[in-house]
Amino acid sequence: MIRIGASQPLDFPPGTSWKFSDTNYMILGQVLVKAGGAPLQTQVQRLILDPLQLTNTQMTPTSYIPSPVLHGYDSERGDYQDSTFWSISWASNIGDMTSNLSDLGRWAMALGTGKLLSPESHARQFAPVTVGLGPFTSNKLYAAMGAIVANGWIVCNPNVPGYWDALGYSPSKKLAVSSPRYPIPMRRRTCTTQRRRSTKWRPCLIPLHRRTFGQVESRRRT
């Protein structure tokens, strides 16, 4: 997968812009394996999941998801199909984790407060060094390391086919939000209700920007 991604033409010269890339996360995972001397799954468990007590979250390189599972559906292959156990090999190191709503809320707070980082590292993680690069060009909306800073909120929208979520943490309000949306065939009313709910708080994060969280790409299963 890395060879395929790295063989494609560059979208822009290095250092001149920014864009999300699954291939970059695959490469980063390989670097961490060599630097840490252990499988990435082991390092994530020991350094992140265990310290944060995220007992319902795990990294798995296969399509296995522990029971009980909320099934997801996606129309990527034409008609709506159950995508719950589709292969995740195309997004290793970035989309091969499973979790539940409770753990996602804890993770949003840990990410926003820098619980596992030194104050210096946390400040660097969310420094506005990408302002003016890529799709986000405002001091109120820019890409940080592993998240987006939007109007004072720290946000992510992990998603893979069949599953979509938006996570947010407000340092000033000390508030964590997790708003999932799962497209379920034959239940359009449910989807509409979830879409309306996420639309209500989305302007609080980005009141003056037309882009939606669907354009801030990040991936995961749940």
- pLDDT for 216: 33
Q: Does residue 41 belong to any structural domain of this protein?
A: yes
- pLDDT for 208: 37
Q: What letter would DSSP give residue 83?
A: -
Q: Does residue 106 belong to any structural domain of this protein?
A: yes
Q: How far from 18 is each of 4, 37, 51, 140, 143, CA to CA, in Å?
A: 20, 30, 31, 16, 8
Strand partners, 138: 141
Q: Does residue 222 belong to any structural domain of this protein?
A: no
Q: Does residue 221 belong to any structural domain of this protein?
A: no
Which residue range forms the structural domain that includes residue 199?
Answer: 2-64+72-215
Instruction: Give the pLDDT mean for 80-92.
Output: 85
pLDDT in tens, 30-58: 999 999 999 999 999 999 999 999 999 99
Domain count, the chain: 1
Q: CATH number of the domain that 95 lies in?
A: 3.40.710.10
